[in-house]
Structure 1
Amino acid sequence: MPDRAYRLVVHTSVGGDRMRVRLSNAFGDRPLTFDSVYAGVQRQGAALVPGSNRRLTFDGRTTVTIPPGGTAYSDPLPGRVRARTNLVVSLHSPDAAGPATGHRLAMQTSYLTQGDHTADETAAPWTRTTTSWFYLDAVTVRTPARTGAVVALGDSITDGWESTTDLNRRWPDQLSRRLQHSRATTVRGVANAGISANKVLADGASPSALNRLDRDVLSHPGVRTVLVFEGVNDLKARTGVTAQDLIDGYREIADRVHAAGHCVVGATIAPFKGWPEWDPAAEAVRQEVNAFIRTGGLFDAVADFDRAVRSPDDPESIRPAYDNGDHLHFTDAGMRAMADEVRLKDLECASGPGR
């Protein structure tokens, strides 16, 4: 919508300096202009810590126009961003129209207003709320060369659906908490590339994992490891996807990640018995795929999320304390169980062709 401003709240993982933001017009059908972009630190709600809100530039200019399908990085912002901080990016577009590139299930309250109030550190102009992010694609910082990042490639479970809004309890967030002071790895950054309804093989509400791997995962600077937690949506769609189909999809992902010089960790598919689309045929494929993930040798390491969350009384179902009630998604406790299942030292694995 023209003349709309967005105040978007995002939670950082690793700390560092020379912060940059990446804006995206990936799904736009026309050029998109931003004439004012600021970044500050959240105080409460839409209000910012006084003095923290600073203008971002793009190639030295305060205005940037992004072509359809394109992205734009801001210039580095002097100063340091602390780890696990609620950063607020405020942006205004005079001409936004057509399809908006965004992230629907942000599990985070952000704010909207008409007119350019991006420089305002108070909450007063920001009278509307949203739980989606628009146009903001990534936040990066400069870290010591030895510090790496992991990208979580997944669906709505990774996206954090049904975790508590505004508390950053998605499993990648809980993994980030573990990483900050770990001596088992120098991986500190976490990028959440989960999208609701995402599949490995087929496009749907979002491009498939195969089709978005370059844009959403491999394009991030500092990536050392990719953690792949995908597949349940392929199974429950009842399209006849076989175990070999999924294995072939995983193999292509692993090959491309390795060719880019990164590690790849595979996560087993969690139970979903009780979800309306569950059936014994899909369960048989899930079991076969999980056996391959555990023992097939494709991945540098395995995170056995199935083992972490399944019920001891019915291994085809989620443990009741971890089940949000729909038998597919997880409570905060279930999210934590998955994060705790990741062996942090596995994120340091050797990577690349011939590993």
Structure 2
Amino acid sequence: MTAFSWRRLSASLLVTTLTTAGVVAARTEPAAPPATAPPAASHLVTTWGAADDIAGGTLTNVTVRNIVRTSVGGTDLRIRVSNANGDQPLVLDSAYVGKHQSGAAVEPGTSRRLTFSRATTVTVPPGAEAISDPLPGDVPALQALTVSLHVVGTTGAITAHNRAMQHSYKSTSGDYAADESATAFQTESSAWFLIDAVLLTAPETVGTVATLGDSITSAVGTTIDTNRRWPDILAERLGELPKPLQLGVSNEGISGNRVLGGIAKAGSAGSSALARLDKDVLTKPGVKTVLLLEGINDIYAGATTDQLIAGYRQLIARVHASGRCIVGGTLTPVGGSFVYTEAKETVRREVNEFIRTSGEFDGVADFDAATRNPAEPTRMLAAYDGGDGLHPGDAGNLAMGNAVNLDSLTCSDR
């Protein structure tokens, strides 16, 4: 079965029976099942995800074309449309998914229409989300997709993911969701608009890792449009495992985000990790493990060691209460950046010591050890620096993605 195509198969067995009167009669009966084990159970998993934030301005009678990439493969694609941070109903009357070719172009012949509750139009109330009906067919791992949505009327506040490190596109006025060419898509953007998850059906053994963090998890500092974020590197490594052991990756980083803090508003750094854990992580289908890398922005804002650890403990308790596991990522070096002072470096070291040695996380990803300069451990290696002393570049993200112990992501369910 090829991607974005499907075929329903049925089988029957023509059985001839000799009656007691010697008459041969024919009847159709279901075929006997093969003498093999029953098919493995399946469930929904998140193959791509992004955290909800707010983009400036509004959208009026335009089509947005988001470019996303799957992590794990599966069948029966769905998307989750988000109006979580909206202030009025979001109305879409045209939604299409296709294979990405280049720029805003869709690979010819691959675009397929999505429906919502069997309708082509969906109205999503403020604060709500909507999941599309399944689109039958296979979708491979690491497949670049286009998700095109036509907005009816005006959106009000736009739920989006800023600083996506991936270009998406806005059209001239009108519905161009089904148009596979790039002609109408004249405006390039660095945000994903109005979607926060792509879902697939996969074997029950397959799950999703949600990477919860800030701009370092969003991978500000990497090359745009190249999928060089450390969660992308992690997804590629997980895809090399035997299929029953594979995991999807949902990137829930927001630039500027904090563990502690407030609620999203236009121009903000998103709701705090404590405020958005349920919406951005625990409601994403298939999430089995949370990988947390967050706290540098809290330290910069003046949080103490005890305050940040208390925030971590709340995240740990809530993730565990949901029956999932949580892995702690140590905070990467910030020496040479605007964040650094000796006092803040002391907090970073103390927080990292808690992450490494407390035993309260189910595992540890030592991003600090993977990226620091051994000769000057307050700084990351020059080759890993994205240019500001704070954000790792492509090479630094590669080192981070390779630093995660894959076994730590499959800890026992609670």
Q: TM-score range by the shorter chain?
A: over 0.9
Tell whether 2:408 aligns with 1:350: no
| Residue 209 of structure 1: aligned partner | 273
* Aligned AA (2:120): T
- The secondary structure found in structure 2 opposite 1:39 is strand
**TM-score, length of structure 2 as denominator length:** 0.83
Q: Which of these residues, 227, 232, 236, is aligned with residue 296 of structure 2?
A: 232
1:93-108 alignment runs, 5 A limit: 93-108=151-166
Deviation sequence 1:17-61 (CA, Å, 0-9, x none): 011100111111111100100000011222212221111000000
8 Å contact kept, 1:187–1:224: no
The equivalent of 2:66 in structure 1 is 8
Q: CA RMSD in A?
A: 1.2
Distance in 1 between the 2:400 and 2:155 partners?
39
Question: For the residues of structure 2 that align with 1:266 and 1:44, how far apart are their CA atoms?
Answer: 36
Q: Does 1:220 align with 2:279?
A: no
User: What is residue 189 of structure 1 aligned with on the other side?
Assistant: 248
User: Are residue 40 (structure 1) and residue 98 (structure 2) matched?
Assistant: yes
Q: 1:3 to 1:195 in 2, by over 3 A?
A: same
Q: Using the alignment, how far apart are the partners of 1:201 and 1:166 within structure 2?
A: 31
Matched, 1:146 2:205: yes
Give 1:205 deviation, angstroms.
2.3
Q: Is the CA contact 1:92–1:115 (under 8 Å) kept in the aligned structure 2?
A: yes
Instruction: Verify: 1:257 aligned to 2:316, yes or no.
Output: no
Residues 210, 110 of structure 1: alpha-carbon distance in 2 compared, 3 angstrom cutoff: same
- Judged with a 3 Å threshold, the aligned counterparts in structure 2 of structure 1 residues 277 and 28 are, in CA distance, closer, same or farther, namely same
The answer for the alignment partner of 1:136 in structure 2 is: 195
Output the CA distance in 1 between the equivalents of 2:246 and 2:316. 19
Q: What is the match of residue 172 of structure 1? A: 231
Give the whole-Å Cα distance in 1 for the aligned partners of 2:197 and 2:317: 25
Alpha-carbon displacement from aligned partner over 1:245-298 (angstroms, at most 9, x marks no partner)? 111111111111111111110000111011123111111111111111000011
SS of 2:257's partner is: coil
Q: Quick one: structure 1 residues 199 and 165, their matched pair in 2 at CA, closer, same or farther if it must change by over 3 Å? A: same
TM-score normalised per structure 1: 0.96
Structure 2 distance, partners of 1:207, 1:96, is 24
* Cα distance in 1 between the residues matched to 2:73 and 2:162: 26
Task: Give the alignment partner of residue 248 of structure 1, picking from 310, 315, 318.
Answer: 310
State whether structure 2 residue 391 is matched by structure 1 residue 329.
yes
8 Å contact from structure 1 (residues 58, 73) kept in 2:
yes
**Which whole-Å CA distance do the structure 2 matches of 1:106 and 1:96 have between them?**
23
Deviations 1:296-334 (A, max 9, x none): 011010000000001111101111110112110011110
How far off its partner does 1:236 sit?
1.2
Q: Runs of 5+ in structure 2 lacking a partner?
A: 1-58, 263-267
SS in structure 1 at match of 2:402: helix
Q: Secondary structure at the match of 1:163?
A: coil
Q: Tell whether 2:183 aligns with 1:124.
A: yes
Tell me the residue number matched to 2:41. none
The match for 1:295 is 357
Q: Deviations over 1:133-164 (max 9, x none)?
A: 11011101011111111000000010011111
SS at match of 1:102: strand
Q: What SS is found at the alignment partner of 2:377?
A: coil
Matched to 2:72, the amino acid is: V
Does the Cα contact within 8 Å between 2:221 and 2:387 map onto a contact in 1?
no
Q: Which has the larger radius of gyration?
A: 2
Q: For the residues of structure 2 that align with 1:84 and 1:249, how far apart are their CA atoms? A: 34
372, 382, 407: which one pairs with 1:320? 382
**1:271 counterpart letter in structure 2:** P
Once the two structures are TM-superposed, the CA of residue 117 in structure 1 deviates from its matched residue by 0.7
SS of structure 1 residue aligned to 2:312:
helix
Q: How far apart, CA to CA, are the structure 2 residues paired with 1:126 and 1:226?
A: 36
Identity %: 50
1:18 corresponds to:
76
Question: Could you tell me how far 1:184 is from its partner in structure 2?
Answer: 11
Displacement of 1:95 after TM fit? Answer: 1.5
**In the alignment, is residue 79 of structure 1 matched against residue 161 of structure 2?**
no
Counterpart of 1:263, as a letter, is C
Aligned-partner residue type, residue 45 of structure 1:
G
1:111 corresponds to 2:169 = yes
Partner of 1:62: 120
> Cα gap change, 1:209/1:185 in structure 2, threshold over 3 Å: closer, same or farther?
farther
**1:155-201 Cα distance to aligned partner (Å, 9 max, x none):** 00100111111110000000011000125982420000000000001
Amino acid at match of 1:205: A
| CA distance in structure 1 between the aligned counterparts of 2:108 and 2:269, rounded to whole angstroms | 40
- 1:191-219 residue CA offsets vs partner (Å, 9 max, x unmatched): 00000000001125210000000000001
Please give the alpha-carbon distance, in whole angstroms, between the structure 1 residues aligned to 2:139 and 2:219.
Answer: 24
Q: Retained in 2: the 8 A contact 1:263–1:349? A: yes
- 1:340 is matched by which residue type in structure 2? N
Query: By how many angstroms is 1:2 displaced?
Result: 1.6
